[in-house]
C-alpha cells in the first residue's frame, strides 16, 4: 500500500481556512511528510517565482529550522529545539534590511509535567524580554486535549474541549469562556467497503453564532480527495457552499490535478513533475498549468550530495 501524506498545498489551504480566530490547540510537530518529502532528507530549499523557503530536519525527521526569504535582507527564521520528540523551544526571528527586528521576534518555551495526566506549559516572550502569553494544555487519561488556559496582562481565557460520540460520529467542541468557537465532526461513509471515505466537518462560530465551515473528505489512507468551503447564510439559517476543490493523484501519491468550483465558475489545474535520481523519488520541479507557476526544490539527504534539477 502506498503511503499518502497530505499534499503541502492542501495543508496550507485547510490551515488558512481553519486558523482565522487563533483557536487554542496543542503545539504541532512538523516532519518531512508534512512537506511532501520522503526518505532521509536533511535539507530542502524551495525556489518559486515569488520567493524562497528552506527547511532543515534532524535525523528523526522533525523540522529543526525553516527560513522564508522575501529578499536577501528581508526574511524570517524559525528554530525548533527538541529533547527526543518533545518540543522544548521555538524561536521566530524576523529580519529587515539584514537586521534582527526584536520588536516582532518572539520565543516559545515548553515544559512537560507528567506527575498526573500530561500537561504542557507554553510561555511566550518577545526578544525584548517582555512576557506576552502563557498557555497551559491539559490532557485526559486517553491523552486527549481537554482544556487550555491562556493568561497574560489582559486576563485569563479558558478553552474547554469536549468529546461526544453518536453512533459512528465523533464531535469535538471547543468553547472559550463558555462560548462555542469551533466544532469538528468526524464520520466514516461506507465503512469497510472498498470506497470507504473519512469525512471531517469543521464549523467556526463568531460570538457563538455559525460563521463558516470546511468539510474535508479523505480515503482510508487519509489522502485528501476533496475540500468544501461553506459560508453561513443568515436568511436561510444554514450553511451554503462557497467553493469545492477535488484532488487527483498519481500512483506515487503526488498531486496531479485539481478541479475547483466557485459558484458556477469551474477551473482546472494540472501538476507536472520532474524527480530526483534518488531511491525516494522526491520531486525537484513542479509546474502548474494553466497558471504557468513553478516550484524548484534542491534536496540534500543525510550522507549524500544535493539532488538538483536535471538539465
CA distance 125 to 153: 13
The answer to which of 136-145, 168-177, 300-309 has the lowest mean pLDDT is: 300-309
**What's the whole-model pTM score?**
0.86
Give pLDDT tens digits for 18-61.
343 445 567 889 999 999 999 999 999 999 877 899 999 999 99
For the record, the C-alpha cell of 54 comes out as 528552506
Share the mean pLDDT of the chain: 90
Amino acid at each position: 500500500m502506498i503511503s499518502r501524506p497530505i499534499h503541502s498545498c492542501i495543508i496550507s489551504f485547510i490551515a488558512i481556512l481553519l486558523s482565522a480566530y487563533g483557536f487554542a490547540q496543542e503545539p504541532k510537530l512538523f516532519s518531512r511528510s508534512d512537506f511532501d518529502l520522503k526518505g532521509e532528507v536533511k535539507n530542502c530549499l524551495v525556489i518559486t517565482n515569488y520567493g524562497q523557503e528552506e527547511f532543515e530536519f534532524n535525523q528523526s525527521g522533525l523540522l529543526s529550522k525553516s527560513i522564508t526569504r522575501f529578499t536577501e535582507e528581508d526574511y524570517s527564521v524559525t528554530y525548533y529545539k527538541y529533547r527526543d520528540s518533545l518540543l522544548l523551544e521555538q524561536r521566530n526571528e524576523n529580519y529587515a534590511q539584514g537586521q534582527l527586528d526584536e520588536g516582532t521576534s518572539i520565543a516559545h518555551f515548553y515544559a512537560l509535567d507528567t506527575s498526573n495526566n500530561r500537561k504542557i506549559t507554553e510561555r511566550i516572550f518577545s526578544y525584548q524580554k517582555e512576557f506576552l502569553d502563557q498557555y497551559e494544555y491539559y490532557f485526559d487519561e486517553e491523552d486527549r486535549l481537554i482544556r487550555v488556559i491562556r493568561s497574560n496582562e489582559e486576563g485569563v481565557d479558558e478553552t474547554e474541549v469536549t468529546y461526544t460520540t453518536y453512533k459512528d460520529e465523533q464531535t469535538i467542541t471547543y468553547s472559550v469562556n463558555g462560548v462555542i468557537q469551533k466544532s469538528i465532526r468526524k464520520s466514516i461513509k461506507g465503512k469497510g467497503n472498498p470506497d470507504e471515505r473519512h469525512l471531517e466537518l469543521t464549523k467556526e462560530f463568531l460570538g457563538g453564532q455559525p460563521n463558516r465551515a470546511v468539510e474535508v473528505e479523505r480515503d482510508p489512507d487519509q489522502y485528501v480527495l476533496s475540500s468544501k468551503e461553506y459560508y453561513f447564510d443568515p436568511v436561510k439559517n444554514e450553511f451554503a457552499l462557497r467553493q469545492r476543490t477535488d484532488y487527483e493523484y498519481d500512483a506515487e501519491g503526488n498531486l496531479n490535478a485539481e478541479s475547483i468550483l466557485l459558484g458556477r465558475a469551474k477551473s482546472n489545474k494540472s501538476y507536472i513533475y520532474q524527480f530526483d535520481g534518488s531511491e525516494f523519488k522526491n520531486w525537484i520541479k513542479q509546474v502548474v498549468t494553466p497558471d504557468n507557476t513553478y516550484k524548484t526544490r534542491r534536496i540534500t539527504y543525510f550522507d549524500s550530495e544535493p539532488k538538483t534539477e536535471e538539465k
